[in-house]
Amino acid sequence: MSKITFLGAGSTIFAKNVLGDCMLVPSLQHFELALYDIDPIRLKESELILNSVKQTVGSSCQIVAYSDRKQALRGAKYIVNAIQVGGYDPCTITDFEVPKKYGLRQTIADTVGIGGIFRNLRTIPVMLEFAKDIQEVCPDALFLNYTNPMAVLTNVMNTYGGVNTVGLCHSVQVCVKDLLNHLGIENKGVKSKIAGINHMAWLLEITKDGEDLYPTIKRLAKEKQQEKHYDMVRFELMDKFGYYVTESSEHNAEYHPYFIKSAYPELIDRFNIPLDEYPRRCVAQIEDWQRKRDEIMASASLEHARTHEYASYIFDAIENDAPFKIGGNVMNSGLITNLPKEACVEVPCLVDANGIHPTYVGDLPPQLAALNRTNINTQLLTIEAAMTLKKEHIYHAALLDPHTAAELSMDDIVALCDDLIEAHGSWLPKYQ
């Protein structure tokens, strides 16, 4: 029996979506769905829920929960990764509260910025432990990474872990549909091209029945900016740089030096920026799960309809040799020619029986490549810090982060990094 292993299976709803999708795909019916999580209670809950889905949909997939990670991985053909090292409490709280003491505010803090740097530093060692196990027990497996910070973790698994890894993010999947819905434009007949880096990929082309939609999009976006709405940061970036960016306004507010500025507090209201958004979401998700858990657990026949998650479509494309297109995060092997070759980029990819094939993009418009490089700088120096265990590279990553550098002095950035290292304690390896 072939095996799909889900690491972080205690993310119950996401595991239900991804593996429930697999249970609906004929080509995957002979697979074992292997569940692994460090939390035995959440692992058991996911096992029970997935067995309920299995009964309802009539799948012949076998569901097995493992307490031993290496055994969960042994013989896997595909691996799905959805871990969060340190969780909401204590690590996410630390990533937000310590920077506040320096006057540095954040919205999501899971990609770049000071929060993204430290999320990487505590996650990379765990990912490399995964890579060791994979090299030993399933070296040919395809690793699907859903965990943020996407670009850095996918880069590390490919470059240092020696694992065939593609990073998958929802932002590319929903970008065009959500933009057009927001502006009241019919989605039928629309074609688009997206490329860049994760959370900062660009809608390079968008046409409807062969006609360029950008003039209409920009006109309607300017009209929208007259009133408060949820996407004001992205519309402002499009106005100034010419292109729409894939990830949400709350994310992009902290990827650039223009929006969250203590010297200009009025920008927060002007662009409707939700500071401390991710902690609020965490609390809401925890409370929502506590409310729904007993009801879901008590159901003997949970329904499931196939979602838009890429995983099951990728597996099916490989098993059936039926080509399928995705937006994937992969190493920049000459794909985007004006971004560093060491970077992880997000580009269109074709999937078939031979695996995942990234497509050539060429040069991005120069202003877009320049914006991407401001984030790539911090990503690559974060990797340097993690792989050398040299504290100086943590400082370098933070000093070059656009938002952090726009708000704090060099001395304060170094002091903040030291405070975060101390606050995270054993969640981080020892840095010299």
What was the pLDDT predicted at 299?
A: 79
Backbone angles phi, psi at 205, to 5 degrees: -140, 140
Q: How do residues 263-282 score in pLDDT, each as one tens digit?
A: 999 999 999 999 999 999 99
Contact assessment for residue 417 and residue 91, using Cβ atoms and an 8 Å cutoff: no
Architecture of domain 87-108+171-275+309-432: Alpha-Beta Complex (3.90)
Segments of the chain assigned to CATH 3.40.50.720 = 2-86+109-170
Binding residue numbers for Mn(2+):
169, 199
Closest CA to 111 of 406, 401, 428, 408: 401
| CA-only gyration radius of the chain, Å | 21
In the chain, residues under CATH classification 3.90.110.10 are 87-108+171-275+309-432
Average pLDDT of the segment spanning 149-175:
97
Q: Nearest CA to 60 among 51, 73, 70?
A: 51
Any residues with CB less than 8 A from the CB of 375 and at least 6 apart, and which?
A: 111, 112, 151, 197, 200, 255, 402
pLDDT of 334 strictly over 80: yes
- Under a CB-based contact definition with an 8 Å cutoff, are residues 122 and 421 in contact? no
Q: Give the pLDDT confidence score for residue 1 in this predicted structure.
A: 77
Instruction: Name the nearest CA neighbour of 146 among 13, 263, 53.
Output: 13
pLDDT digits (tens, 9 = 90+) for 112-149: 999 999 999 999 999 999 999 999 999 999 999 999 99
Positions at the binding site: 148, 169, 199
The binding site for substrate comprises 148
Tell me what percent of the residues of the chain surpass a pLDDT of 70. Answer: 100
Q: How far apart are CA 190 and CA 177, in angstroms?
A: 9
Predicted confidence band of residue 338 (pLDDT cuts 50, 70, 90): very high
Is 2-86+109-170 in CATH node 3.90.1200.10? no
Q: Active-site residue 424, yes or no?
A: no
DSSP 8-state code for residue 362: B
Kind and range of the H or E run holding 427: none
Identified catalytic residue from 170, 251, 308, 393: 170
